[in-house]
């Protein structure tokens, strides 16, 4: 610090970044962090920026399961130690959260990175009292950090323009059309918003009683509460752009084709999503058997002994849903206790013994592939989910072959050895199929619709691909 200060002019601002809580065995105590901050100030720093933890830490620091502004106590410890400005960071994604931090005196400024990928006009919208129009970072890391860590160019799940701005034509169209969009999930809403921004007229049909599609299931999973913000942004944008939204309206192929032929609609965009795939197992009509849709969307009761067939993203979401509480996951103290964080940083690295995770349910996850479960989860987030499920005692079996479900439970085999798992509930998370019924019906009637999202490709529940595809199609007109 002294060497840098000596080489630059007094007017040159030097900001020094300190890990305000190491979250590593053998790391600094709170007092040692404070002493480091004092010495950095004495050596000539103009400001201190606070980081949280290290990449090697076994405690998540900025993914969605981390509550907003969770690290405020560690940052306040640095602020109290020095007289120069201190900047807060990590899991600050909304203006009110930033304002509370500054108003509390815990920091003088906040720094954001991912929220500006999600919405580069974050500051302008805040300044103009349009915070409800901010496209909020949901801390998924799926398109930013996960790509960086796998040697790919970063972008953003909620904002596919990030890092690719010149690939999108956002000018007003000179040939406005009237689009019928069927399906109010992320793909349908993203298309409707972007087409309307270009100056097209859009009518959106949704069979359910609310917008969101698969997002309405995802937001019920602990650690995925930020999907509520994505839905808020979509709803506000649709209203602001005067998109005609018809809920509880199931589009009919014959009616829609007639309206196209009459000239009411110029184009039809199908975003009808996916339906659960049923594996070939005897006894799927047994009362024990339900689908992930039954559990996450319809609230079907689940017993205390559970078998989950399928260990992709949906299978892990269902397991997380069954062992946790979406409401509890928002509480910083619950998070800190679960992951063994001493917010007073009395111990080295700010670590303590994690709380025991208790759950009444006995959960067993299965997959056909012989590889480890969760191999294809997010690079920067998958380990968090797997660690939490391990703490909850969730059993995981790879290389399973399924024979039947009956009163005894799930009959399966591993390496040729037949086994029976006593289960009250067997939840099918064995993938999805594209819901193309309406697409096929229109094609039979001579209408060539566009198809996006899960209706186009059903692999996993990939909101990243759905929003990107929908946005690119919308700006192509």
Q: Is residue 349 part of a domain?
A: no
The reply to whether 379 and 235 lie within a common domain is no
* Mean pLDDT for the stretch of residues 89-116: 97
Give Rg (Cα) of the chain.
25
CA dist., res. 36 & res. 32, Å (int): 6
State the DSSP string of 231-270.
Answer: HHHHHHHHHHTT-EEESS----HHHHHHHHHTTS-SEEEE
Bridge partners for 307 per DSSP: 364, 426
Q: Which pLDDT does position 208 carry in this prediction?
A: 95
Q: What residue has token string 């996993």?
A: 460
* Mean pLDDT for the stretch of residues 181-195: 98
The reply to whether 290 and 421 lie within a common domain is yes
Q: How does pLDDT run across 24-74, given as a tens digit for each residue?
A: 999 999 999 999 999 999 999 999 999 999 989 999 999 999 999 999 999
The three-state secondary structure class of 298 is coil
1-6 long-range contacts, CB within 8 A, separation 24+: 1/40, 1/43, 1/44, 1/45, 2/43, 2/44, 4/44, 5/43, 5/44, 5/45
Environment class of residue 279 by beta-carbon count within 10 Å: exposed (0-12), middle (13-18) or buried (19+)? Answer: middle
* Mean pLDDT for the stretch of residues 151-172: 96
The reply to whether 111 and 56 lie within a common domain is yes
pLDDT over 70 for what percent of the chain?
A: 99
The three-state secondary structure class of 38 is helix
CA dist., res. 245 & res. 263, Å (int): 20
User: What pTM value is reported for the model?
Assistant: 0.94
Q: Which of 423, 428, 449, 427 is nearest to 438 (CA)?
A: 449
C-alpha distances out from residue 209 to 206, 246, 400, 444, Å: 8, 9, 38, 28
The reply to whether 301 and 408 lie within a common domain is yes
The residue ranking higher by pLDDT, 86 or 391, is 86
Q: Which pLDDT does position 348 carry in this prediction?
A: 96
The answer to whether residue 323 scores a pLDDT higher than 70 is yes
The reply to whether 399 and 263 lie within a common domain is no
Q: What total of structural domains would you count in the chain? A: 3
Q: Is residue 438 part of a domain?
A: yes
Q: Is residue 161 part of a domain?
A: no
Q: Is residue 344 part of a domain?
A: no
The answer to whether residue 426 scores a pLDDT higher than 90 is yes
The three-state secondary structure class of 395 is strand
Q: Is residue 338 part of a domain?
A: no
The reply to whether 291 and 254 lie within a common domain is no
Q: Which pLDDT does position 358 carry in this prediction?
A: 67
Q: How does pLDDT run across 327-346, given as a tens digit for each residue?
A: 777 789 999 999 999 999 99
Q: Is residue 425 part of a domain?
A: yes
User: How many residues in the chain?
Assistant: 477
Q: Is residue 261 part of a domain?
A: yes
The reply to whether 46 and 114 lie within a common domain is yes
Residue ranges making up the domain that contains 193? 168-275+433-474
For residues 283 and 402, is the Cβ–Cβ distance under 8 A? Answer: no
CA dist., res. 424 & res. 404, Å (int): 14
The reply to whether 263 and 315 lie within a common domain is no
The answer to whether residue 459 scores a pLDDT higher than 90 is no
Q: What residue has token string 């640095």?
A: 78
The reply to whether 29 and 116 lie within a common domain is yes
The reply to whether 261 and 283 lie within a common domain is no
pLDDT over 90 for what percent of the chain?
A: 94
Range with the poorest average pLDDT among 22-26, 109-113, 455-459: 455-459
Q: Report residue 309 as tokens.
A: 């067939």
Q: Which pLDDT does position 330 carry in this prediction?
A: 79
Confidence of residue 461 (pLDDT cuts 50, 70, 90): low
Q: How does pLDDT run across 242-266, given as a tens digit for each residue?
A: 999 999 999 999 999 999 999 999 9
Q: Which pLDDT does position 393 carry in this prediction?
A: 92
* Mean pLDDT for the stretch of residues 210-234: 94
* Mean pLDDT for the stretch of residues 126-150: 96
The reply to whether 301 and 384 lie within a common domain is yes
Q: Which pLDDT does position 17 carry in this prediction?
A: 97
Q: Is residue 186 part of a domain?
A: yes
Average pLDDT of every residue of the chain = 95
The answer to whether residue 326 scores a pLDDT higher than 80 is no
Confidence of residue 325 (pLDDT cuts 50, 70, 90): confident
Q: Which pLDDT does position 328 carry in this prediction?
A: 74
Q: Pseudo-torsion of CA 320, 322, 324, 326, nearest 10°?
A: 90
For residues 422 and 409, is the Cβ–Cβ distance under 8 A? Answer: yes
Q: Which pLDDT does position 269 carry in this prediction?
A: 98
* Mean pLDDT for the stretch of residues 291-309: 96
Find the CATH number of the domain harbouring 439: 3.40.50.720
Environment class of residue 168 by beta-carbon count within 10 Å: exposed (0-12), middle (13-18) or buried (19+)? Answer: middle
CA dist., res. 464 & res. 141, Å (int): 11
The answer to whether residue 143 scores a pLDDT higher than 70 is yes
Find the CATH number of the domain harbouring 289: 3.50.50.60
The reply to whether 57 and 82 lie within a common domain is yes
The residue ranking higher by pLDDT, 325 or 147, is 147
């Amino acid at each position: 610090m002294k060497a840098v200060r000596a080489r630059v002019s007094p007017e040159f601002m030097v900001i020094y970044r300190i890990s305000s809580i190491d979250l590593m065995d053998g790391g600094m105590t709170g007092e040692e962090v404070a002493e480091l901050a004092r010495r950095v100030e004495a050596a000539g720093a103009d400001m201190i920026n606070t980081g949280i933890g290290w990449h090697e830490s076994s405690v998540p620091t900025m993914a969605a399961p981390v509550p907003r502004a969770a690290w405020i106590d560690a940052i306040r410890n640095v602020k109290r130690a020095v007289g120069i400005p201190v900047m807060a960071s990590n899991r600050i994604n909304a203006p009110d959260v930033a304002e509370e931090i500054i108003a509390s005196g815990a920091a003088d400024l906040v720094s954001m990175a991912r929220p500006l990928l999600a919405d580069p006009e974050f500051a302008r919208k805040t300044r103009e009292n349009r915070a409800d129009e901010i496209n909020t970072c949901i801390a998924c890391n799926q398109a930013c950090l996960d790509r960086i860590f796998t040697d790919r160019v970063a972008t953003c799940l909620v904002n596919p323009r990030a890092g690719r701005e010149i690939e999108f034509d956002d000018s007003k169209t000179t040939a406005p059309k009237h689009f019928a969009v069927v399906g109010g999930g992320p793909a349908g809403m993203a298309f409707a918003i972007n087409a309307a921004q270009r100056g097209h007229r859009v009518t959106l049909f949704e069979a359910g009683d609310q917008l969101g599609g698969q997002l309405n299931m995802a937001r019920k999973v602990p650690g995925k509460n930020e999907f509520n913000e994505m839905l808020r942004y979509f709803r506000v944008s649709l209203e602001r752009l005067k998109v005609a939204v018809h809920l509880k309206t199931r589009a009919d192929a014959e009616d829609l084709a007639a309206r196209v032929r009459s000239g009411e609609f110029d184009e039809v965009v199908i975003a009808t999503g996916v339906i659960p795939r049923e594996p070939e197992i005897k006894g799927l009509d047994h009362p024990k058997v339900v689908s992930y849709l039954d559990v996450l969307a319809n609230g079907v009761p689940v017993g205390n002994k559970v078998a989950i067939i399928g260990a992709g993203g949906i299978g892990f979401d269902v397991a997380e849903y069954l062992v946790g509480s979406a409401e509890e996951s928002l509480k910083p103290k619950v998070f800190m206790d679960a992951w063994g964080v001493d917010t007073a940083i009395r111990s080295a690295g700010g670590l303590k013994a994690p709380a025991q995770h208790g759950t009444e349910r006995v959960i067993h996850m299965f997959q056909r592939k012989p590889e480890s479960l969760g191999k294809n989860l997010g690079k920067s987030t998958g380990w968090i989910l797997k660690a939490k499920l391990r703490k909850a005692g969730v059993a995981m079996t790879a290389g399973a072959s399924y024979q039947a479900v009956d009163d005894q439970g799930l009959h399966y085999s591993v390496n040729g050895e037949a086994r029976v798992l006593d289960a009250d509930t067997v939840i099918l998370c064995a993938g999805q199929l594209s819901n193309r019924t309406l697409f096929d019906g229109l094609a039979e009637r001579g209408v060539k619709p566009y198809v996006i999202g899960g209706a186009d490709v059903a692999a996993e529940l990939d909101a990243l691909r759905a929003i990107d595809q929908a946005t690119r199609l919308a700006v192509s007109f």
